[in-house]
Chains A and B, each alone.
Chain A
Amino acid sequence: MAGHTTDEATYQKQVSTVWKSTYLMAGVTAIEVAIALVHFYFFHDTPKYYIVGFMIIATLIKAFYIVAEFMHLKYEKKALILALSVPLIFLVWALIALMVEGNYWYALLH
C-alpha cells in the first residue's frame, strides 16, 4: 500500500474497524477477568478446569483480532497468509505431545 495514499472513505472505515476491534478485545478481557474473579471468590472449591475452556477460546479470539486486524494479515495475499499459518500445525502437534507427556510425569510422580 506504500506509495499510495488511502482515500478518505477507506481511511475512515479502517479507523472505525480498529476501534471496534479494540472495544471487542477490551470486552473479552473484562469478561475473562470477571469469570476468574467469580471463580476465585465464590467457587473456590470447584476445579479450575471448568473455566479453562472458556479462557482458551477468549484468548484465541483476541489473538485472531491482533493478527488479522492490527497486523493487517487478513488483507494480505493468500500466499502470505498460508505460508505463515500452515507451519503452526507443528505447534499443535508439540502441544498435544507434551501435554500427554506431562500427564505421564504426573502418573510417575504421584
Chain B
Amino acid sequence: MAELLEEHLISEHLDLPAPNNKEGGEDTPMGASYGKTMMWFFLLSDVFTFTGFLIAYGAIRVSHQWWPDPNLVFNGMPFLHGAKVPLGFVTIMTTILILSSVFVVRAVQEGHRMNKKGVAIWMSLGILGGIAFLACQAWEWTHLIHDGMTPFYNVYYAGENGETLKYVAEHGAAMPAVSPGPPLFGGTFFGITGFHGFHVFVGVILNIICLIQTLNGTYERRGHYEMVEKFGLYWHFVDLVWVFVFLLFYLF
C-alpha cells in the first residue's frame, strides 16, 4: 500500500506540481490531469447515452419482420442525379470523418513537440473534415425529407416479396395518413444520426476554439498543448460513435 501511494506521488509525466498532501485533490491516481480525466469520464457517460439509443434501435429492429433495405434507401449520390450507388455516399462520409480524426491526432502529436504551426495546420484540416461531414449529412437528410420521410412517417414499405419499395404519391394526391412503412425507420434514423450530427457540430466549434487559441499563442504561453489533447479526445469519440452508426444503419 505504501508503495502504491509512493507511485502516485511521482508526477514526472505531468505538468502538475508534485502533490504535497492527500486533502487538496492534487493526487493523480489515474496518471492524467484533472481536465483530461474528466473529459474521459464525460465521454464514458456519452457512450452510455449513445448505446442506450442504439440498443433501443436494435430491439425495435429485431421485433420487426421487415425493415427497409439500407442498400436501396441510401443509394443517392450528389452530382450524379438519378444514379443508384448503394452505400457509396455513406462510405465517403465515413472516410472523411476517419481522416478528420487522423488529422487531429497529428495536431496532438505536433502539440507534444510545441510546434505551433504544425498544430494549426493539422487542426485546420480536421475542422475542414468536420464541416465536410456535416455538409454530407445535410445533403443526405434533405434527400430523405424530400422523399417524404419524417421522424414519424416512413415512405419505404415492403412489397409482396419483401422487396423495398418507395411510396410516391400520384400527382396532386396526398400521402396516406398511416405511414406506408415502419415509422421508426425514420424516427431512429433522424434521432440517432441527428444526435451524432449535433456532437459533430459541437466538436467543430470546439476545434475552431482550439485553433484560435493556438494561433493566439495561448498554449505556447501556457507551456503545453494539453488542451488540444482534450478537444482531440472529444473529436475521436465522435468518430468512434460514427463507426457504430455506420454498422447499424447502413450495413445491417
Contacts and interface: CB of A to CB of B under 8 A. Distances in A.
B213 interface: no
A91 to B, nearest CB: 5
A55 B252 contact: yes
B63 interface: yes
B128 to A, nearest CB: 17
Interface string A45-61: 00010001001100100
A69 B236 CA distance: 10
Given A37-B86, A84-B40, A88-B47, A66 B240 contact: yes
Interface stretch (B107-115, B151-159, B183-191): B107-115
A88 B236 CA distance: 18
B239 A70 contact: yes
* Chain B interface bracket (under 10, 10 to 19, 20 to 34, 35 or more): 35 or more
Interface in A1-49: 1-6, 11, 14-15, 18-19, 22, 25-26, 29, 32-33, 36-37, 40, 48
Contacts, number: 148
Contacts of A77: 30-32
A72 B112 CA distance: 13
A62 B243 contact: yes
Given A71-B233, A79-B31, A14 B63 contact: no
A84 B48 CA distance: 12
Interface in B99-113: 99, 101-102, 105-106, 108-109, 112-113
Top-7 shortest CB links A-B: A77-B31, A3-B15, A2-B224, A105-B63, A102-B62, A102-B59, A2-B226
27 contacts: A2-B15, A2-B112, A2-B224, A3-B223, A11-B109, A11-B112, A22-B98, A29-B91, A36-B251, A37-B87, A52-B252, A59-B246, A59-B247, A63-B240, A66-B243, A70-B102, A70-B239, A71-B240, A77-B30, A77-B31, A77-B32, A80-B30, A80-B40, A84-B44, A98-B56, A109-B63, A109-B65
Interface of A: 1-6, 11, 14-15, 18-19, 22, 25-26, 29, 32-33, 36-37, 40, 48, 52, 55-56, 59, 62-63, 66-67, 69-72, 76-77, 79-80, 83-84, 87-88, 90-91, 94-95, 98-99, 101-103, 105-106, 109-110
